[in-house]
Amino acid sequence: MTIETRENIQHRGILVGMDDFKRNENIDIETSMEELAELAQAAGVEVLASAVQGNSALNAALYIGKGKAEEIRDLCKNLDANLVIFNDELSGSQIRNLEEVIGVDVIDRPTLILDIFASRATAKDAKLQVELAQLKYRLPRLTGLGKKLSRLGAGIGTRGPGETKLETDRRHIERRIDFIKDQLKEVKKNREVQRSKRKKSELPIVALVGYTNSGKSTLMNTFMKNSLDYEVEREVYAEDMLFATLEVSLRKMSYPDNLNFLLTDTVGFVSKLPHDLVDAFKATLEEVKYADLLLHIIDASNENHKLQRETTLKVLKELKVEDKKIIEVYNKVDKLEDPTILPKDSDTIAISALKGNNLQLLLELIRREIGDRLVDTEVLLPYDKGNLSSKLYEIGNVTESEYRENGIYIKLKLPYIHYHLIKDYEIS
């Protein structure tokens, strides 16, 4: 038996969206469909056409109206399409019903995103996180998708766990989910050990965050090329496509006048990101929590950059890090006819990561926030400030501590940006 794989399937797809004004998703249908087309292309799909139905009431059985489904069936026949991609999340029964009417494979946006992640994940922890998200997404859809998911590697949506027929046995899937969760706990322990080592280095951590394809990896490479200890093999993969990289990269940056810091990249965000995927990547996104400074990279050349900015801020809020110091970096200004239209304040800057425009100004902003300002201090914390004591161990380098009669004595080195936490308890 020949097993079909991604390599020998030529996906020719039709995109389908629902323009439902009653749902407040803070994104217009045209923008959302354009992004779906980019996602499809990133997954290797040749996009042939798109169809949008305006309807305030969703069809429980087909999601779209039966007439629209038949119209898409005819479109698939005329264009020789073998895949239909819906812009929203579908139930298992809806996918099954649509396939019966249309006659070709049907997947939804979350499945498409999960497939891209599955194809790009290379590190062990990233693979585990993607598989966990896939299994959690498929588990409630077994009833509707049982037959479809049993196919061996039949293209997009069946990559990974589907190839081993795990979906045919709910208990088997649940056991696999439990196993992966245990594995990810070990990954988390390893990350905590690595963080502990980084804290001892006393170097501040700067994290790049932002929408997918905003230029984070390109900016990281530009930082490295201008670093005093640049080595070409330390560069990270950068490509002009959605989700080009999924792995967390960490590099030490060294510049004149003692400006040294650790720079970390993070996975890019996207609208309508599957919740299970956000949850699964918490271990990766957790790096943001331990950063001293966030650089929010925004693609200024994208006409929807305001929406992309809001999407990123929403995810940062979900991670409970929205109160961290953030510098907004408007990237790709070399593509703008008039860069003066961009916001201007002390916490924003316009750059071109590709051409290196304004990199020195950005470094000065970073120096302003972190620089080489480590505070050598001693504090005496009241016993009712035990939580602050734990916090100091997380963000500083504690060299001495002692429980005294009138409080907890701690001697430590602390990044200046956290100095406000302890200034009222400083004794030296």
* DSSP assignments along 202-216, one per residue: T--EEEEEEBTTSSH
290 labeled binding residue: no
Known binder of ligand: residue 357?
no
Q: Tokens 């170097």 sit at which residue?
A: 203
Instruction: At 22, list the tokens.
Output: 């009653």
- Cβ distance 270 to 311 under 8 Å? yes
- Token representation of residue 105: 């494979």
**Unique residue bearing structure tokens 């009138």:** 406
- Residue 143 annotated as binding site: no
Cα 348 from chain centre: 22
Sign of CA dihedral 410, 415, 416, 417: negative
214 is in an annotated binding site: yes
What is the pLDDT at residue 1? Answer: 27
* 419 pLDDT higher than 50: yes
Q: Is 193 flagged in the annotation as binding?
A: no
Give the sign of the dihedral formed by CA 279, CA 281, CA 287, CA 293: negative
Is residue 335 marked as binding? no
Residue ranges of the chain assigned to CATH 3.30.70: 374-425
**Residue 331, marked binder:** yes
Give the phi and the psi of residue 313 in degrees, each rounded to 5.
-60, -35
Contact (CB, 8 A) for 235 and 177: no
Q: pLDDT for 254-285, tens place per residue?
A: 888 778 888 988 877 777 777 677 666 665 67
Is 333 marked within a binding site?
A: yes
C-alpha 232/C-alpha 260 separation (Å) is 19
Which residues have C-beta within 8 Å of that of residue 354, sequence separation ≥ 6? 215, 218, 222, 332, 334
What amino acid occupies position 291?
A
- Find out whether 212 is annotated in a ligand binding site: yes
412 three-class SS: strand
Interior angle at CA 9, CA 162 and CA 91, nearest 5: 45
Q: Which of 57, 52, 53 is nearest to 22 (CA)?
A: 57
Fold of 6-167: Rossmann fold (3.40.50)
Express each pLDDT in 356-381 by its tens digit.
Answer: 899 999 999 998 888 656 778 999 99
340 annotated to a ligand binding site = no
- Distance CA(53)–CA(279), nearest Å, equals 31
Give the pLDDT score at 5: 40
Residue 108 has pLDDT above 70, yes or no: yes
- For residue 241, pLDDT over 60 is answered with no
Q: Has 91 been labeled as part of a binding site?
A: no
| pLDDT tops 60 at residue 165 | no
188 is in an annotated binding site: no
**Token pair of 84 as six digits:** 């239909």
- Is 354 annotated as ligand-binding? yes
Strand 250-255 versus strand 259-264 pairing type: antiparallel
Is residue 352 a known part of a binding site? yes
Report residue 240's pLDDT band, with 50, 70 and 90 as the boundaries.
low
121 annotated to bind ligand: no
Q: Long-range CB contacts (< 8 A, 24+ apart) of 332-338?
A: 332/215, 332/299, 332/300, 332/301, 332/302, 333/300, 333/301, 333/357, 335/300, 335/301, 336/300, 336/301
Q: Which tens digit of pLDDT belongs to each residue from 285-299?
A: 777 888 889 999 999
- Residue 106 is assigned to a ligand binding site: no
Question: Architecture of domain 374-425 in CATH?
Answer: 2-Layer Sandwich (3.30)
* 267 annotated ligand-binding residue: yes
Rounded to the nearest 5 degrees, what angle is found at the Cα of 245, between the Cα atoms of 110 and 282? 60
Is residue 38 scored above 80 in pLDDT? Answer: yes
Spatial distance between the Cα atoms of 6 and 156, rounded to a whole number of angstroms:
7
How far, in Å, CA of 62 to CA of 86, rounded?
A: 11
Asked if residue 225 has pLDDT above 70, the reply is yes
Confirm if 375 and 419 have CB atoms less than 8 A apart: yes
Starting at the edge strand that comes first in sequence, how are the strands of the sheet with 407-415 ordered? 374-381, 407-415, 397-404
Strand partners, 108: 86
Whether residue 284 is annotated as binding a ligand: the answer is no
Residues of the chain with CATH 3.40.50.300: 201-369
Q: How buried is residue 202: exposed, middle or buried, by Cβ count under 10 Å (0-12/13-18/19+)?
A: middle
What is the CATH code for 201-369? 3.40.50.300
Q: What is the pLDDT of residues 177-209, one digit of tens each?
A: 999 999 988 887 887 777 776 666 667 889 999
pLDDT-derived band at 153, boundaries 50, 70, 90? very low
